[in-house]
Structure formats: structure tokens, C-alpha cells
Amino acid sequence: MPAKKAKIAVLVSGGGTNLQALIDAQSKGIITSGKIALVISNNPSAYALERAKKAGIKTSVVTKKECGSQEAFEDKMKTTLNENGIDIIVLAGFMSILSENFTSAYPKRIINVHPSLIPSFCGKGFYGLRVHEAALEYGVKVTGATVHFVNEIPDGGEIIMQKAVNIRPDDTPESLQKRVMRLAEWKILPLSVEKVSNEIINKK
């Protein structure tokens, strides 16, 4: 009998580079305790949906506009997740803050990757290039990425993994963003997903 795998849903809004890192990690055998079963996007034109379709992963689009309110939007996502028997939710460039009503329904089941070493350059307003702009403005010599559990506080949940990346004197926010993705985010996100998946299937 094949070993039980945790069912993973990845929530996306844009290009899906972190989703691709997870798909690649699954095909390389880095993620073995879990399987990506669903990709949900709050943006119908997100390229991440194409990546999922190419990999044969089921997709779903849930938009706040269509649902009418944050509460209805989150309820529809919960229904979709429950219908698909999802064990773990991975936020991979998901540009919608989730309320406590949603996060508390999945304690230690939602994970996010943030492009800095938390507690630096994180929390409300720190996302995308803004994080790297702030790190360069501040003059820090080391940055990196953090994978953490998600709770009602933006970037406030327990840390699962971190990886440091040195800042170069000639870095721009764009060059730093690319290097942090390549050297940190795309490495620790799959490893964290595997770690949490393994813990979940061993608890079942």
C-alpha cells in the first residue's frame, strides 16, 4: 500500500515562481511526504495557474470581487480546501491578507515564505520589492528568507526555517530579490513543506 501523503494547496496571485519551485521539488523527490493537490488563485489571469495546469494540478479561482466581501471570499476558499481534503496551505506570493477567522481554522497548517530574515523588514506593508528596498536603505549586510506558520499577525507566526543571503555592494532591489529567491526562498520553502507534511502524516 502506498504511503499516505499530506495534501497540499498552494495559494497564488501572480507569476508562481515559488509554486514552480515546489512543483520541481516534488518531481525531484525533495517533497515526498506531501503532494500538491490544488492551486487556488485570487487572480484569474495569474501565470501560476498555467504552471499548475502544465503540471497536471487541479486549479481554482476565487476572487473577492466575485464573492462580495472578505468573509464570503474566505468562506469560499475554506469550502474549496475542505472539498479537496487539504492538509497544508502554502502561501506562495498570495497578495491577500487572511483574517483571523481564516487562519485560526488551520492552526500550524498554513505556511508562508517571506523575503527577509524575520523579525527584520516584515509585517504590514512589507512585501515584494519593498522588503529588498528597505534592506538596502537600512544598509544591512545580510538578508535572506524565512518560512513561517501563518497566524492573524502579518509575518507573525512561528518560524520554521531561515536562510541567509549576503548583500553585495552593487545590489539593486531587483538583483537582491532574484538572488534571495534563488538562494533562499526556493530552497527552504520545499524543505519546510516536506518537514510539515511529514509531521502531519505522522500525527494522523
Q: Which amino acid is at 195?
A: K
Q: Please identify which of the residues 7, 51, 109, 114 carries the catalytic annotation.
A: 114
Q: Cell triple for residue 11?
A: 495559494
| Edge-to-edge order in the sheet of strand 6-12 | 58-61, 34-41, 6-12, 88-91, 110-114, 142-149, 159-166
- State yes or no: is 148 an active-site residue: no
Q: How far apart are CA 43 and CA 7, in angstroms?
A: 22
Q: Is the dihedral of CA 43, 47, 48, 54 positive or negative?
A: positive
Q: What per-residue string of b and e applies to 26-48 under the rule 16 or more CB within 10 Å gives b?
A: beeeebebbebbbbbbbbeebbb
Collapsing DSSP to helix, strand or coil, 75 comes out as helix
Q: Which residues are the active-site residues?
A: 114
